[in-house]
Structure 1
Amino acid sequence: MEAIILAGGFGTRLRSVVSDVPKPMAPVADKPFLNYLFEYLSKFQITSVVLCTGYKHEIIEQYFSNTFKEISIKYSVEDEPLGTGGAIKKAFDLIESDSAIILNGDTLFNVDLSQLIAAHEKNNAEISIALKHLTNYDRYGSVLLENNQVVGFEEKQFKNEGYINGGVYIINKAVFEKFDLPKTFSFEKEVLETKHSKLNVHGYQSSAYFIDIGIPGDYEKAQKEVKELFQ
């Protein structure tokens, strides 16, 4: 299966510790964070990746060029910010298969992709979301499940426990053909949260390691933890 990585983020919340590079290029243990996402995909024999880039995309292109180990790299460059949905939809023009794995470029969720793909196919899902169980959190919105089907979403608020969207998806290309979507839109807000009742959206629960480097505290935490994960 092919993969798409959303790598166009400005990294506004990280400016105090990282500047002048796209957020996925923030250094973690002397390597760009994006390097670890490629290492992760490589473990599951993913051989083709489309990078959705925008802000300072030349930095990513100069570092990775067109290959990483056995993975071929294509670039879907945004001339203007398209939102997560617009970026994914545009990137699908470079995807040959009917579905693709989607990753956020600032999040590492060490989900077993082989199992996620198998669950997606078994459930005839149109979208599969990898979900992380958390306790005592307020930084993320929550995903509501019934028999592993996604039935709703809750805004950010303190929760004793719940499931969050871990930023790893499998999406069928046909999803974007079912709706009249604008050029620029949020995949989370304008597809997942508003159209889940019209789609077969499967929630795949995983207890795997999860880190989001979007804020300085977790970025610092990643320096040790992510390096250890790939030793």
Structure 2
Amino acid sequence: MEAIILAGGMGTRLQSVVSDLPKAMAPVAGQPFLYYILQSLEASGFDHIILAVGYKHEVIEAWLAGYATTMRISIVVEEEPLGTGGATRLSLCQAEREDVFILNGDTWFPVDYREMLTCHKKLGVETTLALKEMKDFDRYGIVELNEEAHIKAFREKQYCVSGLINAGVYLINRRVLRDYPERFSLERDYFEQVVADGKLGGFPSNRYFIDIGIPEDYAQAQKDFADGKYKTL
């Protein structure tokens, strides 16, 4: 299996607790957050990782020089911010598999990747999004599925007692974005534009999820990763 990790973000909202580091390199329980993502992917059977880097990419490259892994790691550098879509499109040029996983470098959601791939093939969609059921939240938008597990709508952020959210792990056909512009948002300019056409599938999973993009959740990750809670499957 093959995955792209979007690791080019500056971590603006984390500047108060993590300065001068890409978000993926934010230290969590003694290791860069990227360490845990790579460890999980290797354990899950991935053999090729494409890192889409940008802000302070030298920091990531220097750390990787001392990181031991059986996986082949390719680096794609954004010379200027391209958005999630642009970074994905650029990275897909290095992809070799027909379907490629996309992960956000500041999110932990280690789904059953092989099961997600099977679901993706069965649905026959362009892209499948991993979804997490959340309770009592207003930070995320809601994803609505039909009975066949096709995504039928994205709802704006609002308080919700219970609902599925986009958990930041995708499986995409590597040819889908080739006609898109150099710079665009994967979420706004692709997902939201094609959802009515039935081109997106959903893969709900109950595994542990955390997004370290804000200080409160970053602090929670420190505790959860230190005591092993993040391994709860």
Q: TM-score, normalised by structure 2?
A: 0.94
4+ runs deviating over 6 angstroms: none
Matching residue of 2:76: 76
> Equivalent residues in 2 for 1:115-130 (5 A)?
115-130=115-130
Secondary structure of residue in 2 paired with 1:63:
helix
Secondary structure of residue in 2 paired with 1:161:
strand
Map Cα deviations across residues 110-151 of structure 1 (whole Å, 9 max, x no partner): 211111111111222210100000111000111111121101
User: Which 5+ residue runs of structure 1 have no aligned equivalent?
Assistant: none
Shift of 1:208: 0.4
Secondary structure of residue in 2 paired with 1:85:
helix
The Cα RMSD (Å) is 1.5
Matching residue of 1:213: 212
Matching residue of 2:171: 170
- For the residues of structure 2 that align with 1:203 and 1:138, how far apart are their CA atoms? 20
Establish whether residue 2 from structure 1 lines up as the match of residue 2 from structure 2. Answer: yes
- For the residues of structure 1 that align with 2:221 and 2:67, how far apart are their CA atoms? 25
Equivalent residue letter for 2:184: F
Establish whether residue 34 from structure 1 lines up as the match of residue 34 from structure 2. Answer: yes
- For the residues of structure 2 that align with 1:66 and 1:202, how far apart are their CA atoms? 38
Shift of 1:72: 1.1
> Equivalent residues in 2 for 1:36-185 (5 A)?
36-65=36-65, 68-147=68-147, 148-177=149-178, 180-185=179-184
The answer on whether the counterparts of 1:66 and 1:72 sit within 8 Å (CA) in structure 2 is no
Shift of 1:197: 2.4
Greater shift after overlay, 145-154 or 76-85? 145-154
Greater shift after overlay, 7-16 or 61-70? 61-70
The answer on whether the counterparts of 1:84 and 1:185 sit within 8 Å (CA) in structure 2 is yes
Q: Percent identity?
A: 46
- For the residues of structure 2 that align with 1:67 and 1:99, how far apart are their CA atoms? 26
Equivalent residue letter for 1:132: K
- For the residues of structure 2 that align with 1:145 and 1:65, how far apart are their CA atoms? 42
The answer on whether the counterparts of 1:66 and 1:73 sit within 8 Å (CA) in structure 2 is no
- For the residues of structure 2 that align with 1:37 and 1:168, how far apart are their CA atoms? 12
Secondary structure of residue in 2 paired with 1:94:
coil
Matching residue of 1:200: 199
